[in-house]
Amino acid sequence: NLADIRLTKEALKESKILNTLNVVNNGEEAMDYLFKKGKYKNMRRPDIILLDLNLPKKDGREVLAEIKSNAELKTIPVVILTVSQAEEDIIKTYNHYANCYIVKPMDMEQFIKIVNSIQNFWFRIVKLPLKHK
């Protein structure tokens, strides 16, 4: 949703994160982006995916399952960043090999802290494979 996108961009800006943020509007576009279809044919594969579960057309649960069942995509870390606190969602996403599950905070200060933590962990601490790039 547009408010979440704006909030994420603002959090990245506030935390001085220089990574490129590419945004798609629904689950079908997410898969087109990852498989480099149509207007996404020249896009670089992401280093990490921030995935909301509540996407239109194809929800985040389906997108996650497709990513993690594809040999070329499954090494890309997928961080679930959603408002859902449902235990069923948490269990299902980990069963589909989500790398972590974060509940979106409602206030900007906490959201910036979370974005900073994601950045620090995935880009400074973790060693990611080059294969998926």
pLDDT of the residue at 58: 92
**Which stretches in the chain have pLDDT values below 70?**
1, 14-19, 131-133
The CATH number that domain 2-125 falls under is 3.40.50.2300
**Angle (deg, nearest 10), helices 60-68 and 27-34:** 20
d(CA 60, CA 71): 19
Q: What 3-state class would DSSP assign to 107?
A: coil
pTM assigned to the model: 0.85
pLDDT of the residue at 15: 64
pLDDT of the residue at 16: 64
Strands (E), 29-120: 49-51, 78-82, 100-103
Q: What residue spans define the domains of the chain? A: 2-125
Chain-centroid distance of CA 48 in Å reads: 6
